[in-house]
Amino acid sequence: MLVAGGATFAAFPEWYATLFSGFYLALFLILVALIVRGVAIEYRNKRGEASWRRRWDLAIAFGSFLPALLWGVAFGNIVAGVPIDANKEFTGDLLTLLNPFALLGGLTTLLLFVTHGLTFLALKTDGDIRARANALVLPVGLVTAVVAVAFLLWANAIRGDAISTVIAVVAAVVFLGALLANRLRREGWAFVGSMLTIGLAVVSLFWALFPDVMPSSTDPAYSLTTTNAASTEYTLTIMTVVAIIFVPLVLGYQLWTYWVFRKRVTLPRASAEA
């Protein structure tokens, strides 16, 4: 998140200034939640008492729930547009961001990430946990599909074209394919399908936005675009070179870590029986 913020500041300083000032509280809460989750994962097993572990389990749930919800709220507001004046300054408040379309976007990302997490849990575990995760994927996934279709249709009605609609439809088809693969116990393909769904949904939204990066609901003339919000040509050239070099490296070591830890997590037979 910090790297993304720094890259946005370097490439699109006007967008960074408006986004982080207008969405400051939401982004701050996301950062705090991610910190709480990381601390909870580290401290959960430091003591054996059930009450101790239960408190940290709640912290993990909070640290996972809030970012998943707020990312969708942020995306929803970016797609729908927010009040920006002629000075490119956000003129709304927190209640402005909590509108029905943005909340639907938050519910969409929350359910999508829950389904994605269940798919990954079914992929990486065995025994009872795998069976429980597999059983939950389909009902949660079907609810997710309904909510996501409603959000994408609404988003394309607000700001979309034929191409963004096609991408959204492809995302929906891929997601249904992921649910089917999970039903057939092909968790690897289900996880890939779920991952592609998230990527295609993001592409659909940004395609619908282009060339805007942050539309103004006050006056379309005040909207931030890829042109008026961008940095200098020299800076963008450097950023492009850096991205070409380092993005493949980041993707490479992420794929490598997935490969190293590709086996399922299982309990010893004695522990499982106990």
* pLDDT, tens digit (0-9, with 9 covering 90-100), for 189-231: 999 999 999 999 889 888 888 888 888 888 888 888 888 888 8
Q: Is the pLDDT of residue 2 over 80?
A: no
Q: Is the pLDDT of residue 262 over 90?
A: no
Choose from 64-68, 201-205, 230-234 the range with maximum mean pLDDT.
Answer: 64-68
The pLDDT of 86-90, averaged and rounded, is: 86
Q: Is the pLDDT of residue 63 over 50?
A: yes
Residues above pLDDT 70, as percent of the chain: 97
More reliable by pLDDT, 56 or 95:
56
Q: Is the pLDDT of residue 267 over 90?
A: no
Spell out a b/e string for 99-138, using b for 16 or more CB atoms within 10 Å of the CB, else e. Answer: bebbebbbbbbbbbbbbbbbbbbbbbbeeebbeebbebbe
Record the pTM.
0.84
> What pLDDT does residue 272 have?
47
Confidence of residue 269 (pLDDT cuts 50, 70, 90): low
The pLDDT of 142-161, averaged and rounded, is: 86
The pLDDT of 95-105, averaged and rounded, is: 89
Q: Write the pLDDT tens digit of every residue in 3-18.
A: 777 788 888 888 888 8
| Distance from C-alpha of 274 to C-alpha of 269, rounded to nearest angstrom | 9
**Residue 185: C-alpha distances to residues 103, 124, 151, 181, 262 (Å):** 33, 12, 29, 6, 16
> Which of these ranges, 15-19, 98-102, 140-144, 244-248, has the smallest mean pLDDT?
15-19
* Mean pLDDT score of the chain: 87
Residues above pLDDT 90, as percent of the chain: 33
The pLDDT of 175-186, averaged and rounded, is: 91
Tell me how far the alpha carbon of residue 119 is from its chain's centroid.
Answer: 15
> What pLDDT does residue 120 have?
92
Confidence of residue 268 (pLDDT cuts 50, 70, 90): low
Q: Write the pLDDT tens digit of every residue in 242-251.
A: 889 988 998 8
Q: Is 247 helix (H, G, I), strand (E, B) or coil?
A: helix
Q: Is 198 exposed, middle or buried (0-12, 13-18, 19+ CB in 10 A)?
A: middle
| Distance from C-alpha of 159 to C-alpha of 143, rounded to nearest angstrom | 24
Confidence of residue 174 (pLDDT cuts 50, 70, 90): very high
The pLDDT of 155-169, averaged and rounded, is: 83
